[in-house]
Structure 1
Amino acid sequence: MEDFPLEVEVEDCSSCGEVMDVSALPPYTNVQCPSCGEHSHVKCQIGAYSIISRQGVGGMSLVFAARDQTLGRKVAIKLLNEDYSRDTKRIEEFEKEAKITALISHPNVVRVYTVGQAFNRYYIAMELVDGDSLEQLMQKQGKLCEDMITRLAIEIVEGLKAAHTEGLIHRDMKPGNVLIDSNGHAKIVDFGLALMTSGGKAIADEIWATPYYVPPETLQLREEDLRSDIYALGASLYHALSGMAPFTTETRSTTELLKIKTDVPRLGKVTSDVSPFLSEVIDKAMAFDADDRFQSYEEFLAALRQVEMYFRTGNEPEELSEPTKSRRGQRQLKSSSVLIAVAVVVTALIIGVVTLMTTDTTPEKVKTPVVVGGEPAEDPGIDEEAMHVLIAAELRIAQTFLTQGKYMSAHERYLKLAKNKAVESETMYWTGMRSAISAWLGGESQNARDALREILKLQAQSGREELSTVDKKLQKAMVRLLGLKSIPLEQVSQLNDDLDIMILFASALKEWDQGRWQNAEILFLTLKQAKTDSDQAGLEYYKQMSDAYLADLKLLSPLKEGFDPKTVEQAKEDLVDVLSARNNLKTKGRAPFNTLQWQRQINAKIKHIEAKQQRAILESKEQRENAVKYWAMAKSNALRALKQHDFERVVKELKKVKAISEDDKAWRSSILYLTENAVALYKSTSVALEGKSADFVVKRLDGMVEYEKLLGAKPEGLLVGVEDREKLLAWRDLSPYTMIDLHKKISIVQLSEDEKNQRREQLIAYTWLTGLEAKARSGAESLADASPTFSKRWKACMEAVN
């Protein structure tokens, strides 16, 4: 592209008028005048827009806040930087962004108003969003609460859906391209990398995206479609919810990035602050294979709305329409698929193991070294009896960790033992269940669910064809615990043995973790009534932990109704209540998570209230400045109309604004009093003279013309005769002497005394306004003797206007 022609651009210093050459400076540069030394911004006018402030700087452009000089609204100006303004391809892309965004009309997509060129640069004028980007919000607050992110996610998907309806994919979804307005609503910006699709698909000719959020198919230069934007949004939400990017590497190698993206940890693995329902939605959106993601925005929205409904009502979401896929490109094993057969084992073994776990008997010393979590069955030096002793020892270690409150250590021990090929089927199920219980007690619900899946997967891979009664009971319980639906009391209330008691406790933990506290309370209370003839120590432990959860429920129940503080002080009182409750909690997981969510909500409310107060202060200041400006304009117009005797206009000008200072208020009130009386005089005169004619000399205000015939009056003025024609002479063009003479002729005999005084007051006001102040004072003194109330009004009026 040819260089722009060199033009000399000059601006005058706002302080001293010195002419400054600003040709080489970028827009909105702060310069110092070489003459007077004062600082000012130059090149502030972009087309019809006046720059107010700089908003941000990107790789290709600068963004300013500006005011539309025509419509008076604030806008955002996106200005292509100087280098790219000389690049034909970038100019075309910049114009394409404007056209693409203008195609979309949706409340969750920033609107484009116009495009143009100024200072040899191209610009886009668009909607100015008063608020932070999602990225800025993450930088300020770290992890963001899941209910807010779910609501924003729904709005973002709605915006992307609107874009897709126009045949567009965004291709650069990231936290920085989502703005949050002052009402907390999301707006998508920056369609600079967007593509028009053909049949819903498109292929880019270059990779230009943010590594954390870019979908795998973009890195491979394969076809992209709406599922690519779903991946990028999923990765952005992952970052917002966990407080960390999906990975930390700084590599720019597409090969390395692709490898990393196959092994991104599930959201539930990196944070315990997110419900399993939302975690599964995010995991599915981020599936490595596009076929494993949501296949439409409708499907994505349905899943998000189920989660949103769960946050509002506590009703469980339905199962996702397709299994959630891991980002390794593999399906997770669904619990409903585990319809397997396993070998029959000796029931006495599991009973013996349970007994060893809950008693103080020290296991017999074994000569063969114990390898925790290893595979002792593969060592031919260990016989079956020794193996049973080793298993019992491992169970005692896990149980010790559990009773000491080292829940995750217990979880790992139980799980390693369950995965040990030496243990029988029933022991595998039993230790797997204990592993899940330990994880729930430790507040790591995702680990609990992973443990259950792992056990079901191991059993499915074992190839056994028959199930024992114990196997069936445990397997059925695990499938139920993995489901999203609530566990009814009748399914777990038959407590025939210790196994039923353990399943009941696990079910109560699952209900508690998923926020169904009322159901959990019923299950915990049921367990407290349970009895056993064998594992008394185990039952007492379950009852002890049930008491802890019930105590936390009592502590949190007054708080779970939510918070709606109207002031910062009220919000801080709510915060004290939440923090006090949190410090007294006895359990981990859902209870601390809820208090943390409430704390974040209240802190967000405090920020919202403070921001609202700040906006109110700024708006009040702006309103005051505008009021001063409008008053000055109205007063100027009113003074001009007074000189022209256009009293009706004076009334109109002064009534549409309010005065600011006390002196101005008094002046406005007095001038309105005088002019309203003058207008009332016009009206009473037109009524008195309507349809009446007489030989009467009527003079104009300018004294140039006299009329000798009065033909009557209308609300607009007098009717006079001119060469056998009727002419309307406006009241403002009438000589005040003529008005005074007219009222000497108009009979007021039929009027009451109050009406006569009112007519006199109108004439006095008119006389004063038309410059006959001596006559006005004389008439006022006369009327003051007859009307003390008029005397007070007139005195106050004269003090204000003189």
Structure 2
Amino acid sequence: MILAPPEQTFLSTCPVCQRQIDVTSLEPFTKLKCPFCGQMVRVRRRFDQFMIIRQIGEGGMSRVFEAEDETLGRRVALKILNRQYSRDSVRLEQFRREAHITANVTHPNVIKLYSVGYDQGYFYIAMELVGGGSLEQRIRREGHLKEDEALRIGREVAEGLRAAQQLTLIHRDVKPANILFTETGTAKVVDFGLALFMDRGGDQSGEIWATPYYVAPEKVIDNTEDYRSDIFSLGATLYHALTGSPPHKADTAAIEDLRRIKSKRVTLGESGLRFSPRTEHVINGMLSTSPEDRFANYAEVVDELRLAEGLLDRGSVRRRLLSRRARLIGSIAAAIILAYGIGWLLREGGQRRQARALQIATADERDLDGTGVTLTADKANKKTVSERFTEARQAMLEDRQFANAEHKFSKLLESKDLIQPTENWARFNAALCSIMLDKKKDAAAQFAQLDTTPDLNGLAPFFATIKQRMADGFSLGLNPGSLGYKTTNEEILGYLLHGLAEWHFGNAILGAKELEYFQEHLADIRKSPDTTPTATLDWLSRYSTLVDRYKPDFPLVRNALQPKNSGTIAELRASLALVQQTRKKLKTSGAFLTWIKDLESGLQREVSLLTLQEQQRQMEADKKHRQADLELLAEVNALVPSLVQGYDYNRAIDLLTSTRLETTDVRTALDGRLYLYTQARDFIRQLTTDLAAQSWTGTITRREGGQLTGKITCNTAGTTISVSLDRGTLSLPLDSLTPETLVEIAQSLGTQVTDSTDYYRRQENTAAFARLNGLLQLSTTIAAQLMEENTSFRTRWMKVMAAGI
């Protein structure tokens, strides 16, 4: 893990006057005028062994440059984290995580990561450089892609994502900008910065990270995802490539808007363009709203895309826009039908309202199931206050729709016919709803308006106490025994009120005690010696349902994990896992949930910090290993050429094989060189075997100059060739012939090979031999053809390219 060092001064040397310039405040690759000689110079171009050449991209957290790896002699894409993030331990961890994730995936259709580092106050990642641009750029430039080309790109990307999924890894941000192309057109997936491993618990952040155009519905609807979410995003990307527009016009980051937009099913046929049936089948399958309706795995996706490619009839498939005239006529017809329907509904609605106005309420006005509540009729709504009060209380106690109930009580309080004590009970219940919605100010405002005049059927002291206590910061911290409310009448609701207030705004453990106290003493009402019939107080027991909502969380509060001041990273991770489990189990909000979230955030920071420190130590060790490996590789590279005698590569191969390197990218460079020498040896063996079995007639060129024309054969040892001339037979050492002559003979003899596997093997040997002997143009031509036709060769040849040989 990489930890940002304290702020320090960085100097850069002017290449003209050789004076040093303070560049501490300047970003990498900044161009400025030298304060000493006045020349325009680039500063901060070198990061460790990488020399920046030009900027090729920029994102929200980083910039990407083309750079030269001067140690290994290759071009790379250097991704440098921006200044503010390079000093942010959390962002550093995220950036390092991207490097770790990407390095785990090795596949021709995934951008390869070479190394990571921290230099001059900046964190960087060195990656494979490809020069074919992105799919986003192609769509912008071409409008939309041909059907067969889009299917090929989709298949290659699916193969890359399948390799990641085999490591239980999902990408989470598949989109055109994250699909790059090599010079030969091969598609590669890049930017695994949002990826996560599904077998490590997935994303517990609760945040939605994705690009709105391409994000899967399940991610925005219920924040769940798996590899099928990437399949949807790939389908949306291919839809965009085929039609020139994304499937959902989601120019918003608002979650509610996205949920509404993403819940609508989109099919390729709705685009107004014509595609082959199989193409529509595979894209529509990937874009299914439900993950269960998409393809079961990437193997099916790859097979379906390949089948669509094979069945594509390029002569009969052409894109045609639907007739604008037809759409216009359809729109007009739809508008007429809609207008007629609205008119009918308005007429019917008016008739119904008129009939309702003629009705006469015959129901007797009843008591509100609460002592002393006075009922009046609400003339505007044609419902009695009793009906409206009961409806609001039902929404709160039975339906548990607290926001709806709060609204109903608030509307009831606006009624001019409302009198006491109904008004106080409406405020009391509205305040309860506000508390359960964590709206502390709204609850306090309702309590502040309670009427405490004496004419309240004996409840004035109770309401006065509630008003005073709630105005004084909700009187948090009082034990049930000190509250002093009666448990034989309506005052028992005071314990419920204090318990909910404590749970949401104070001490959850104390809140649980007060809520349990309320439930336990509900039976006291029936034991009351008062002359008031207890039946009229039965409505109080209904409030017990509110406590039932909180009871499952009581054990979680009492057994909550207490934070630790220190511990190993394993202990902290275990504590974090327990805290996260507790948070997931909670059914209610409130002070305890806030505390749990704060504790979780604190533990996550500690884990990240310790992980950073551990990774820093590991990177320091890796850096030492890498430096030692680089020094050893340099010695080996310098020695290898001297071990080659003519076209005998065996001693060089033995040295390369016996060299042990621990660092991945340095080992890759060694493997690339070993591969070339091994293939070149096999080239010579195959050539001498062929010449020993059959002759070749033509002109050969000798290294020291001069040409000979005749029949060429080779001895069984493969060291000497015989040239049959008119004047006799001439024997020559094989290594006296130029590399061009040997390639020409091999290519000529290779035309007689009928087995495709043998032919590709010979061509691979020839490409390696040519490159090792300086025939770069010939080698590049052969390799380019093989990479298009042979995926396994492409993987091997990339090692050669990475080694810069």
Which one scores higher on RCO, CA 8 angstroms, separation ≥ 6? 2
Query: Is the structural similarity TM-score above 0.5?
Result: no
Q: Given the two structures, how large is their TM-score scaled by the length of structure 1?
A: 0.39
Computing the radius of gyration from Cα coordinates, the structure with the larger value is 1
